[in-house]
Amino acid sequence: MLATPTAVPGRLPDGPGWRFEVKWDGVRVLADTTGDRLRLLGRNGRDAAVAYPELGVLAGVLPPGTVLDGEVVALRDGVPSFPALAERMHVRDRERAAALARRVPVSYLVFDVPVLAGTDLTSRPFTERRAALESLDLPEPVRLSPVYEDGSLLWQATSTQGLEGVVAKRATSRYQPGRRSADWVKAVHHRTRAAVVGGWRPESTGSGRLGALLLGAPDEDGGLRFLCRAGSGLAGGLARDLTAALAPLGQDPSPFAERLEPVDARGTVWVDPQVVVDVRYLTRTPSGRLRQPVIRGRRTDVGPDPWEAP
């Protein structure tokens, strides 16, 4: 179940019929024990259990036939850090994942339980599912995402603490798997999106290193629309990871549906649009470009967000 963005930034629903939670800056994961082993399923349906070995503690404590819904986060200075988490999310080597778990540990913040011990709870109201969730004895690093009744106060607190935002949930809402529902509403302090890489440019120093990415979004006709050229955030391990991921994808001509301005196209190495990154930005221009984009990490758990008119 996915949340619908607020029509007006920061304007959350209010009243006794709503509950409020922090919107954590992590990746959505279902912890599933309905099969013969624990699976940690991302939004793309892939099992990420290898990437997060510390969450294996759930295998011994969750009742068989249970599904939890929550967010995997990596904390840096007490605040969820997507760039820190991005270092871990696409790891598939068990030894490397174990080493990263010691250096960059994750937590699993659980906020729903669609299935409990073989009983389907999706038609039950949110408050009833929450009570069932609170009855579970969850081991560290698994924790319940707190629920609050004052949305405006939580909005102010999340802003002060540098958190991503707030999710409002209707107390009577059913759990609708895979659907974006107005019964869950999200408001964010900083805009983020998943974008696909259509090309890259080397640094202007002549080093040959990655200097900027050209990002796009698929439209409803299957074309790739240009979002921006982004260089901020490309450093260290992220730059090396993206360089390796993009190296075998070179192509000609440009994958973008429109002809790009020379200031963006000049010197670009075009690539098959397969690599997805998470980008934070300030606003969008009237033509749909992202203003002040910052690359935060490579994503392997989701595809690119679709193009929407600004």
Give yes or no for a contact between 71 and 42, defined as CB atoms under 8 angstroms apart. Answer: no
pLDDT 10s digits, 15-61 = 999 999 999 999 999 999 999 999 999 998 999 999 999 999 999 89
Q: Is the pTM of this model over 0.75?
A: yes
210 lies in the same domain as 79:
no
CATH number at residue 12: 3.30.470.30
Query: Catalytic: which of 23, 124, 129, 298?
Result: 23
Query: Domain for residue 304, yes or no?
Result: no
Average pLDDT over every residue of 155-164: 93
| Structural domain boundaries enclosing 221 | 191-299
- Chain mean pLDDT for the chain: 94
Of the listed ranges 108-122, 135-149, 171-185, 280-294, the one predicted with least confidence: 280-294
For the cut 80, the answer to whether the pLDDT of residue 10 exceeds it is: no
Q: How confident is the model at residue 71 (pLDDT cuts 50, 70, 90)?
A: very high
101 lies in the same domain as 89:
yes
Which pLDDT does position 7 carry in this prediction? 79
Last residue of a domain, one of 148, 167, 188: 188
Which pLDDT does position 158 carry in this prediction? 94
For the cut 80, the answer to whether the pLDDT of residue 92 exceeds it is: yes
Secondary structure (DSSP) of 47-98:
B-TTT-GGGGGGGGTSPSS-EEEEEEEEEETTEE-HHHHHTTTT---HHHHH
50 lies in the same domain as 112:
yes
Average pLDDT over every residue of 62-80: 93
293 lies in the same domain as 173:
no
Last residue of a domain, one of 146, 172, 188: 188
Amino acid letter for position 3: A
Instruction: Extract the runs of DSSP E, i.e. beta strands, from the chain.
Output: 2-5, 18-23, 27-32, 39-41, 67-76, 79-80, 106-116, 119-120, 142-144, 165-170, 180-188, 191-202, 210-218, 224-230, 269-270, 276-281, 294-299
For the cut 80, the answer to whether the pLDDT of residue 206 exceeds it is: no
Average pLDDT over every residue of 221-236: 94
55 lies in the same domain as 196:
no
CATH number at residue 287: 2.40.50.140
Q: How confident is the model at residue 207 (pLDDT cuts 50, 70, 90)?
A: confident
Active site residue 23: yes
Domain tally, the chain: 2
Query: Domain for residue 175, yes or no?
Result: yes
Query: Domain for residue 260, yes or no?
Result: yes
204 lies in the same domain as 254:
yes
Last residue of a domain, one of 155, 188, 221: 188
Burial of 111 (0-12, 13-18, 19+ CB in 10 A): buried
Pick from 176, 27, 223: which is nearest to 107 by CA?
Answer: 27
